[in-house]
Structure 1
Amino acid sequence: MMFLCALVLLCTFVAQAEKPACQMMGSPEFPLLSKEGDVIIGGVFSIHTKFSQPPVTFTHKPQSVVCSSVNLRAFRFAQTLIFAIDEINRSHNLLPNVSIGYRIYDTCATILKSVSAAMAMINGDEDAGENNCTGKSLVHAVIGESESSLSIVLARITGPFKIPLISHWATCECLSNRREFPYFFRTIGSDYYQSRALAHLVKYFGWSWVGAVRTDSDYGNSGMAIFLKAAQEEGICVEYSEKFHRTEPEKLLKVMNVIKRGTAKVIVAFLTGLEMIQLIEQLSLQNITGLQIIGVDGWVTAKTLATPASYRVLGGSLGFSGGKANLSGFADYVVKEFWESAVDCAQMNVTEIQSSCSKDLMDFRHYNKDVPELRYSGNVYKAVYAIAHSVHSLLKCTQQHGCDQDLLFDSWQVAESLKRVNFMTKNEEHVWFDNSGATPARYEVVNWQLGPDGNVQFQAVGNYDASLPAEQHLTLRPDTIVWAGGTSQVPVSVCSESCAPGTRKAPQKGRPVCCYDCIPCAEGEVSNTTEYMFNCDDYWSNAAKDKCVLKMVEFLVFTDALGMVLVLCSLFGVALTIFSGFLFMMCKDTPIVKANNSELSFLLLLSLKLCFLCSLTFIGQPSEWSCKLRHTAFGITFVLCISCVLGKTLVVLMAFRATLPGSNVMKWFGPTQQRLSVLILTLIQVIICVLWLTISPPFPYKNVYLYKEKIILECNVGSAVGFWAVLGYIGLLAVLCFVLAFLARKLPDNFNEAKFITFSMLIFCAVWITFIPAYVSSPGKFTVAVEIFAILASSFGLLFCIFAPKCYIIIFKPELNTKKHLMGKMPSKSL
């Protein structure tokens, strides 16, 4: 028994060893149309659009898919491929001594047949055993498919074998991934550009509220995702975004319910022709009309859709399509040569037709009315020529010597050569592939209109060219467009009606931004007919809230009554200071001038004059330089002034101390020390101001918040720390001076200057203490007026308290201007 089992196993092994190493599994897939040549181009088209799958019993070999419903446009693609190949084969310039053949397969728009066609192009259709195991595919390049999903299937099968696949109509952006699809090319632009073009078109006509329907496939999902993103960037709201597939009728019914409930009057239909047929049927059955449909190249120029019944639903539709193909001689070829030479059925009798010709092909025999509307056939034509130019380069072809047929090349070399092709077609169209394997995106904007004969026409009403600058991408002729319902008026599709002038948009809770209520504008806000609400800023809203009127600008000016009073007061103070200085100069040798430290007195008079003058910098329109000058000038001049008063106070105290026996204190506070103390105290303020101006200086500022109806021009202090540091330093010196003068007020002397300094510092401190709350609470230009008043009041206080008594004695009581009187050796008299 063991011996018999071993013998059976050995026989089985020998029988299997005798079989060829390579063997075709299953039935071969034969091409619909074929022709032999030195170079073979594969063609994959959905010449039928419907199929039925026989039941699978798992007891018998599955039967082939049964195809039906002829797709005339796809068959025209096959005709174009054969026409281009015949044209090249007759050419003496392109591949002069090399013939091109073809193998064209019908996929019936199903993945199953697409896989079978791909495997057939790789393996061939003959069961030749080991002879087929050469490692090379039967075709050198493949042209197809029309749908992106089917093209993805083809690309995933042919890609590992490094066979270039050129699609004439697969536009899914996903196919631009060169890492995933390195051998995929297309003679049409990516949906990235078409989807963005759709958003631009919707934006152009002011449709802010649209619906969206897409094919549930790579083509529809990828394209719609790009559109939705672009629509959001353009401020377009999408009411709904629904999807369905031709094999899912229940989802189509759900989409119809959403469309009926929706309020959007514009629908972006990112569908293939097959899904569009189903959508039209449902729209017609449910009597849904008057919608403005925006379409894509998948259906917008399909002649099979352009019927009187569909025009009732799709009349006035707008969309993007490839430009019309200008293929010289193609019309005659389609009508005569193709049927006589390629199919050879035109002259046969009925018996010969039934035995030799495909019934499906005979359905096309008299079909030539769509030749003038050729659009994507031109992409097939360009794909064939691109492959021919690629092979022409590989074979080192020249017009004089022809091609070197001894050179061998593989399909991957054809793919590499395709990346470098750059040529002009007979109709002067430039063909080349970018880094993603696509040609530049150019579209024609077409409009569904009725022609004079009552047939549907695809009227060109504009163009979209992605290679141009952004502002020139879309060009339209709106006056030539017929809209849904046959009207000449642009449809309106918005979630909420336009707000009337004087009202603004208020978003509705839980709804897109395009849905809003209109409420009256607030004070200072306006809205006009453009619906945009904005703040008037430098303006103010009128009573109707639809127009901005210029706000009144307020600042303290020289011509204002208040400004004039303050200027006169400032100039009067300057005049009094100059008069006092002149009087002191005339009487500089008198005892009263000498006794009061004439050098510090003159310096004090100079600083007081500057204090009066710096108040003028606060008047007028604030500017960058005036804001910086007014605060720093005020701070430095007042410190200089207080430093002089402090020096005079110290001189009085030191002079009294010097009269005490054994005291030599005056030698430590002589004229040099007095000057140095004033310089150091003033220099500290200068340093503070420099730091303030360096870190965060004052700057002009428009205060639009204090008053709604007017703008206050003022100086912002910049750094609040710097501002209060300047004031704080002045206050510190003033308090110190006041304390020292107060201590010296009762020193024995008929003319004790410490008393007057005490009074002046008392006034100074009182003014600036009351200044702080007044400064903070004063509105508008009165804030500046308060600051000027504080400067003038404190300056007048110093001038009157320190210099008025001396001037009075010099002018009216010269008899008191003696050394004896000042030293107290004469009885003092009341002033």
Structure 2
Amino acid sequence: MPLRRRAACWELQPKVLSSSEESLPFTKMLEARGLVRMLAMINAVEKVNRSPLLADVNVTLGYHILDSCADVSTALRATAHFIERSHCPGTTSCGPPVLAVISYSSTAVTLSDKTRFPAFMRTIPNDRHQTAAMVSLLSTYGWTWVGVVTTDGNYGQSALENFVSQASKNGICVAFKSIIPQAVGSQDVRSAITQTARTIFENPEAQVIVSFAKPTLMVYLYQELKNQMLRGGRDRKSMRRVWVASDSWSSSSSVKENIHLEDMGHVLGFTFKSGDLSSFNEYLSRLEAAGHDDTGDNVFLQEFYTQLNASEGYGDTELVSKAVETLREHTHAGTIFSVEMAVSAIAQALVSVCRNRDCRTPGTVQPWELLKAMWMEEFKLRGKSFKFDSSGDINLGYDVTMWRSDGENIHVQDYHPHNNSFTHSTTQQLNALKHIISKCSKSCVPGESKKTTKGPHTCCYECAICSANYYSNDTGKTFPFTLTHLFTCTKSNRSYFTWDKHMAQCLSCDPVTEWSPEGTSSCLPKDRLLFSWQDPFAMVLLTFSALGVVLNLLVSALFLHQQDTPVVKAAGGPLSQVILFSLVISDISAMLFVGQPNSLQCKARQVLFGISFTLCVSCILVKTLHILLAFQFNPELHEPYIIVAICVSLQAATCICWLVLKSPYNHIVNNPTTLLEACHEGSYLAFGVMLGYIAVLAFVCFICAFKGRKLPHLYNEAKFITFSMLLYLISWLLFVPVYITTSGVYLPAVEMVVILISNYGILCCHFFPKCYIILFKKEQNTNTAFRKKLYEYSNKTTDVVSVSVVTNYREGVTCPSLHRGMMSKGSKGNGFSEANGTKVKVSAAREDKLIKSYSTSMPLAGVQLLGKKKDERCTVSLLDESAVRVDAAAALLGLLLPQPQDVLQTVQRHLHDLRVHHGEQVTHGFDGVQGHQREGKLSATQNNSPASEDRQVEQLYLDLSPVPCSDVGHGPARLLLDGLLGTAEQVEETRQS
């Protein structure tokens, strides 16, 4: 006796096959496909009962088969009736019955929800895996615009929902969705099929259609498509599509028999994993051999024979053969394999439960025990092990088949659900699918983006060229973007989506390191630019910088070697070495503008230039003031090095504040196509103050030097200073607008060029002429040459000078003042008195006070200048017209006589020469005071008077000027009589030449 499963117990009873239960409706015609599945289960049960597997526990399996009539309500009533009849006497149940259910063909996703269906299990993958496999297949071929045909049952609705959800995540859009009712004979079905065919023709871009419909509906749909094609005068090509068939009809022989692939197109089907059909084929052979009358209790098989005979009118033998042949045509290897797995799982779980108990006694085995054993333990079939997962499913994957025109199916791919991938079994047949395009819009070329148009579908777009700094390498064959479902309109049954972050669009290049031109498929790295050492222009500037350093060092060495010569002394002596040193530092700072900048380099280059050039200009300013004050007969410039130190300190303070508050730094300028490595000045205000301060010093030098531009050329530093400062000011004035308006790699070169121009301007104007005289005009580098030039210059002027000799004496001793003047007889308007014998009283102060003197010019005919004591008088005789003039230019000779003692001695010698030359008696008071002299100084003031052509005698006078005694001896003397040029004979000879 077979074992019959019941709701709360197990009992032994005979096999029951019924098509005539009380109050249960039945279908008018049996489907061969359903009958094949039933026979496969019967064969599997009988095969297990014959095997030694159940012999150890002394039980056998049975079955009770009911017809659901392809209706959900009918299936539910049949199930409830089955459970009521399965009640076991003497047992109780405190909850809903837990009856293990194993399906071999139900693929609805909702059945994997264990909160609702805790006892449901199946030996095939659910529809989620099938739809995932379909979406993966569509993505492989770039089919993004597809139609969907399904039924309104639980299977069709669930499959449609899962497909749309997974397709949207992979950038696949559903062009249309057609839902056909399941009731084949109703008018609604015909209307739905007609509308579906019309929709397919209206969407020629959708060359791929996914169908979850039943085989019968697919046959009707094919016929309607062909009819509309003929009525509309369309060609056969307009009807051809790529049909992606679900497991419901992918291996249906009835569809194959009623369609022509030449009209249909291509069919790719998903079927369950298959096994060996030899056992089932043997079973069908036994049925055929048994004949028409030997069907046993199988009322369904008897009814199938009756239906077949009624339509064709076969004889008994011919009828059975035709029936078996029909069953073989509807035999699907995947379905048979799933049925066998389900039966084997039940049998092996039962053996596991009954191994230690006698299961023949009713109530010994509870249904939940069998369910637990099925869930926890592996079972084997044909040498392979299988196990249900946490959802109660066995996911073996799918076989992908391709229909051929001869009715055969070719196995072309294997789908693996664990990694969502395909394994190709053959590719020759798949090559025909590569040229098929199913897209709403054409593919965009690299460098274009997809700009969606108005409408619910994101797969319909226009191609727009990517702008600069954006790129796109998606040609439409791959879909790295995803879509997010927003909502579904109930009336139109349309779903609306939005782009996710992986949308196919123009992607932005890295704004820091990359760029791209318009319409490109990739980003290009930005070129890193800098004013490098290898740049030809940089090499030229570096050469000039290095040459400047070398020239300054050579000039410095030459000046040190010739430091005692008049030219070097006239050039400033020690100050010239300071100027040359500052120029060397300035040239070195210019070199820091080349190369890859760093923070230290950016700070050092501006500070070094600012301080070094300030030092240079400060020294030049001191020289300029020195010369200017000398020829203006003002007091001597005090402490020149202190003035230089003050000027440089102010600039150093500015640079320190700059570095502390907002110092320069290296940064990268992000240009559209390049990265420029440069120095940022930090504070442009501080940068401007630094340059402005140097400009102010240079401007002062320029003004002061411009006033002394007419001096003798041997002493004419003013001309060179004027030209060099003018060159500096012009170059830096031009630098400002150029620097503001210039950007790029050569911006540092602009400042570098201006620095070199300034450095070379000073070097060439100040030192090269001196070097030329030292090296090539040695005859001009002598005291005699300097005296001659001074005398020549003095003859060109008509200036009259007053001379004072200031000496310090012991307390109580007055300072004598010698007045000596000559003027033209009868000259008018010169402010001099013509009275003879005018006496001038001179007063003297002590050491700690300034000497104040007053003088009156007059003809000196034996004039006596009296002091406080009678023995301190000095008389000077009148000189004739051959007397020598005293000129302001003679003051320059004081550079050659730096000591006051030398000056005084020279004055005494000159007076002596005058006395001898003119035969006059000259007495003076110098001899008596030289021994007491501590410091001495000559000063001069220049009085300009108009020249007189008829002047025969010039006046020469001496007076005292206010001079601090403490300043005596500092710096070179700035006043000499023209007698210092030599003896009277030498003077006369010089004049005649």
Question: What SS is found at the alignment partner of 1:161?
Answer: coil
The amino acid of 1:276's aligned partner reads M
C-alpha displacement of 1:319: 1.5
C-alpha displacement of 1:214: 2.0
The amino acid of 1:124's aligned partner reads R
Match of residue 480, structure 1, among 429, 432, 447: 429
Tell me whether 660-669 or 732-741 shows the greater mean CA deviation. Answer: 660-669
**Residue 791 in 1 paired to residue 752 in 2?**
yes
The amino acid of 1:771's aligned partner reads V
Tell me whether 246-255 or 435-444 shows the greater mean CA deviation. Answer: 246-255
Cα deviation digits, residues 501-550 of structure 1 (max 9, x gap): 99998765548555566899999999999689999998989xxx9999x9
> Aligned partners of 1:546, 1:714: CA distance in 2, in Å?
20
1:755–1:315 distance in 2 versus 1, CA, 3 Å: closer
**Residue 359 in 1 paired to residue 303 in 2?**
yes
1:580–1:386 distance in 2 versus 1, CA, 3 Å: same
> What residue is the counterpart of 2:668 in the other structure?
698
Matches within 5 A, 1:79-118: 79-93=39-53, 96-97=56-57, 98-118=59-79
**Residue 639 in 1 paired to residue 607 in 2?**
yes
> Aligned partners of 1:593, 1:167: CA distance in 2, in Å?
114
Question: What SS is found at the alignment partner of 1:170?
Answer: coil
C-alpha displacement of 1:447: 1.9
> What residue is the counterpart of 1:213 in the other structure?
149
Q: What's the C-alpha RMSD, in Å, of the aligned pairs? A: 5.4
Structure 2 unaligned regions, length at least 5 = 231-238, 309-319, 478-504, 627-633, 709-714, 775-780, 787-891, 899-970, 977-993
The amino acid of 2:253's aligned partner reads K
The amino acid of 2:424's aligned partner reads T
Matches within 5 A, 1:422-433: 422-426=378-382, 428-433=383-388
1:795–1:559 distance in 2 versus 1, CA, 3 Å: closer
Cα deviation digits, residues 441-496 of structure 1 (max 9, x gap): 42111122243xxxx222222222223x55x524253423697xxxx995444445
The amino acid of 2:412's aligned partner reads V
The amino acid of 1:681's aligned partner reads C
Contact 1:461–1:478 under 8 Å retained in 2 = yes
> What residue is the counterpart of 1:459 in the other structure?
410
Cα deviation digits, residues 589-628 of structure 1 (max 9, x gap): 66557643846752551342341x34543xxxxxxxx3x4
> Aligned partners of 2:751, 2:17: CA distance in 1, in Å?
93
> Aligned partners of 1:354, 1:572: CA distance in 2, in Å?
113
Question: What SS is found at the alignment partner of 2:401?
Answer: strand
> What residue is the counterpart of 2:194 in the other structure?
253
Matched pairs, number:
696
C-alpha displacement of 1:168: 1.6
> What residue is the counterpart of 1:135 in the other structure?
93
**Fraction of identical pairs, as percent:** 18
**Residue 449 in 1 paired to residue 417 in 2?**
no
> Aligned partners of 1:416, 1:338: CA distance in 2, in Å?
40
**Residue 737 in 1 paired to residue 697 in 2?**
no
> What residue is the counterpart of 1:393 in the other structure?
352
More helix, by proportion? 1
> Aligned partners of 2:533, 2:600: CA distance in 1, in Å?
25
Contact 1:315–1:448 under 8 Å retained in 2 = no
Match of residue 605, structure 1, among 561, 578, 584: 584
Match of residue 582, structure 1, among 537, 554, 565: 554
> Aligned partners of 2:73, 2:757: CA distance in 1, in Å?
104
1:640–1:101 distance in 2 versus 1, CA, 3 Å: same
Contact 1:41–1:103 under 8 Å retained in 2 = no
> Aligned partners of 1:337, 1:524: CA distance in 2, in Å?
75
> Aligned partners of 2:118, 2:274: CA distance in 1, in Å?
29
Matches within 5 A, 1:43-192: 64-93=24-53, 96-97=56-57, 98-124=59-85, 131=89, 134-135=92-93, 161-192=97-128
Match of residue 302, structure 1, among 252, 268, 292: 252
Contact 1:173–1:191 under 8 Å retained in 2 = yes
1:772–1:418 distance in 2 versus 1, CA, 3 Å: farther
> Aligned partners of 1:300, 1:101: CA distance in 2, in Å?
31
> Aligned partners of 1:46, 1:810: CA distance in 2, in Å?
131
Contact 1:640–1:682 under 8 Å retained in 2 = no
C-alpha displacement of 1:379: 0.8
1:355–1:385 distance in 2 versus 1, CA, 3 Å: closer
C-alpha displacement of 1:775: 0.8
C-alpha displacement of 1:302: 1.8
> Aligned partners of 1:414, 1:404: CA distance in 2, in Å?
15
**Residue 725 in 1 paired to residue 725 in 2?**
no
> What residue is the counterpart of 1:323 in the other structure?
273
C-alpha displacement of 1:739: 3.1
- TM-score of the superposed pair, with normalisation by structure 2: 0.58
The amino acid of 1:633's aligned partner reads Q
Question: What SS is found at the alignment partner of 1:305?
Answer: helix
1:665–1:95 distance in 2 versus 1, CA, 3 Å: farther
> Aligned partners of 2:109, 2:18: CA distance in 1, in Å?
24
1:727–1:425 distance in 2 versus 1, CA, 3 Å: same
Contact 1:604–1:641 under 8 Å retained in 2 = no
Contact 1:267–1:293 under 8 Å retained in 2 = yes
> Aligned partners of 1:759, 1:675: CA distance in 2, in Å?
24
C-alpha displacement of 1:431: 1.5
Contact 2:531–2:594 under 8 Å retained in 1 = no
1:547–1:87 distance in 2 versus 1, CA, 3 Å: closer
Match of residue 371, structure 2, among 391, 394, 415: 415
Question: What SS is found at the alignment partner of 2:334?
Answer: coil
Contact 1:34–1:104 under 8 Å retained in 2 = no
The amino acid of 1:738's aligned partner reads A
Contact 1:445–1:463 under 8 Å retained in 2 = yes
> Aligned partners of 2:417, 2:587: CA distance in 1, in Å?
74
Question: What SS is found at the alignment partner of 1:101?
Answer: coil
> Aligned partners of 2:655, 2:108: CA distance in 1, in Å?
79
C-alpha displacement of 1:272: 3.4
Question: What SS is found at the alignment partner of 1:473?
Answer: strand
Structure 1 unaligned regions, length at least 5 = 1-32, 52-61, 138-159, 618-625, 705-712, 777-782
Match of residue 265, structure 1, among 197, 203, 207: 207
Contact 2:146–2:438 under 8 Å retained in 1 = yes
> Aligned partners of 1:356, 1:459: CA distance in 2, in Å?
32
> Aligned partners of 2:764, 2:39: CA distance in 1, in Å?
114
1:584–1:745 distance in 2 versus 1, CA, 3 Å: same
> Aligned partners of 1:326, 1:513: CA distance in 2, in Å?
46
> Aligned partners of 1:358, 1:34: CA distance in 2, in Å?
24
> Aligned partners of 1:755, 1:394: CA distance in 2, in Å?
118
> Aligned partners of 1:649, 1:523: CA distance in 2, in Å?
51
> What residue is the counterpart of 1:775 in the other structure?
742
> Aligned partners of 1:407, 1:665: CA distance in 2, in Å?
126
> Aligned partners of 1:133, 1:328: CA distance in 2, in Å?
43
Question: What SS is found at the alignment partner of 2:612?
Answer: helix
1:221–1:446 distance in 2 versus 1, CA, 3 Å: same
1:187–1:791 distance in 2 versus 1, CA, 3 Å: same
**Residue 436 in 1 paired to residue 391 in 2?**
yes
C-alpha displacement of 1:324: 2.8
1:63–1:205 distance in 2 versus 1, CA, 3 Å: same
> Aligned partners of 1:511, 1:827: CA distance in 2, in Å?
104
> Aligned partners of 1:662, 1:271: CA distance in 2, in Å?
114
Question: What SS is found at the alignment partner of 1:417?
Answer: helix
Contact 2:663–2:683 under 8 Å retained in 1 = yes
Contact 1:640–1:678 under 8 Å retained in 2 = no
> Aligned partners of 2:115, 2:446: CA distance in 1, in Å?
55
- The structure with the larger Rg is 2
> Aligned partners of 1:800, 1:654: CA distance in 2, in Å?
18
The amino acid of 2:612's aligned partner reads C
> Aligned partners of 2:698, 2:207: CA distance in 1, in Å?
89
Cα deviation digits, residues 2-46 of structure 1 (max 9, x gap): xxxxxxxxxxxxxxxxxxxxxxxxxxxxxxx9958995799xx99
